[in-house]
Amino acid sequence: MIMKPIAHSPHVNLIDGRDAAARLRESLKPEIERLKAAGVTPGLAVVLVGENPASQVYVKNKVEQTKQLGMHSIEHRLSDSTSQEELLALVNRLNNDPAIHGILVQLPLPKQISEAAVLAAIHPDKDVDGFHVVNAGQLAVGEPRLVPCTPLGCIHLLKGLGINLRGLHAVVIGRSNIVGKPMAQLLLQEDCTVTIVHSRTPSPELLVKQADIVVAAVGKPRMVKADWLKPGAIVIDVGINRIEENGEKKIVGDVDFAEAQFVASAITPVPGGVGPMTIACLLANTVKAAALQHGL
């Protein structure tokens, strides 16, 4: 992990997620070659239902990066009016397709489709999102198999700092099944003391102020202010918020980076922090799933 000093703030370290993601992808190459030599090309199927513009960008990036690593990639684009039965039939076909080791159904789904029903239909061994209750349960009991990509990416970034995480107080802001809950479980696995702060927590800033590590995953632009942070805290910003400011479209995190950078000892920017790691971890999960399914 490379940490670059921020030009106007030499005491603060920027955590470079693009660089870390490139290293993680590079580290997958020998494993992909090993699997190919054994006759297995790891394959990822990405399913997009509807026209959500953000989802279209994510899916395009996922497909491109899968191909760049020499993996097998297929993409299914279905219309906004797709029924739950049609989507479940596709998932079932992919579950039974031996060329496919990972299935990712991009969320959110149109309202006529139950996300829970679709996630439950993906075979746990092909669940590269780590959202199936079997994989969530494995993580909860401390025996992780396929782990959700965004929290996994955050742990990679923290480990890349080269510090001992044991006993550190980590405060996770947000309790979603996609990020907050699995993030808290992974930090527990690293022997952190973990607090989860959420929308019903009175005075969240008082808890965040005690944190050695802050992981913000709420989806509220610049919610975490500099004066919420303990000086020297490590800040991981999962937020990807699209805003318009002074007539300009921008993507900002859940942390007010402009001020937090002067208080944190290390901080992820948005964009260029957690985001690139999420896709790299998806590729890592697909390679892992292929090895698991073939006992390699």
The residues assigned a catalytic role are: 62, 106, 129
Taking the complex as a whole, how short is the minimal distance between the CB of residue 93 and ligand GUN, in angstroms? 18
Nearer to ligand GUN, 128 or 194 (CB): 128
Residue type, 97: D
Q: Is 106 in the site for ligand GUN (CB under 6 A)?
A: yes
Task: Choose the binding region for ligand GUN from 103-111, 165-173, 219-227, 231-239 (rule: CB under 6 A).
Answer: 103-111
Q: Is 235 in the site for ligand GUN (CB under 6 A)?
A: no
Residue 234: HSE in the Cβ half-sphere, 13 Å Cα cutoff: 19
Parallel, antiparallel or unpaired: strands 248-252 and 241-245: antiparallel
Query: Of residues 107-126, which lie at the interface with ligand GUN (CB under 6 A)?
Result: 107
Nearer to ligand GUN, 38 or 243 (CB): 243
Beta-carbon contacts of residue 84 (< 8 Å; ≥ 6 apart): 112, 113, 114, 117, 118
The Cα 254–Cα 263 span in angstroms is 16
Interface residue with ligand GUN among 16, 127, 129, 256 (CB under 6 A) is 129
Taking the complex as a whole, how short is the minimal distance between the CB of residue 183 and ligand GUN, in angstroms? 12
* Cβ 218 vs Cβ 174: under 8 Å: yes
Residues in a beta bridge with 48: 77
Task: Choose the binding region for ligand GUN from 99-107, 134-142, 165-173, 286-294 (rule: CB under 6 A).
Answer: 99-107
Nearer to ligand GUN, 13 or 268 (CB): 268
Residue in 183, 181, 226, 185 with CA at minimum distance from that of residue 208: 226
Question: 170 phi and psi, to 5 degrees?
Answer: -105, 130
Parallel, antiparallel or unpaired: strands 241-245 and 266-267: unpaired
Nearer to ligand GUN, 177 or 201 (CB): 177
The Cα 113–Cα 85 span in angstroms is 9
Task: Choose the binding region for ligand GUN from 69-77, 105-113, 202-210, 224-232 (rule: CB under 6 A).
Answer: 105-113
Q: Is the dihedral of CA 209, 201, 185, 241 positive or negative?
A: negative
Task: Choose the binding region for ligand GUN from 76-84, 102-110, 160-168, 181-189 (rule: CB under 6 A).
Answer: 102-110
Largest pairwise CA distance in the chain:
56
Q: Is 104 in the site for ligand GUN (CB under 6 A)?
A: yes
Interface residue with ligand GUN among 28, 69, 94, 178 (CB under 6 A) is 178
Write out the residues near ligand GUN by the rule CB under 6 A: 104-107, 129, 149-150, 178
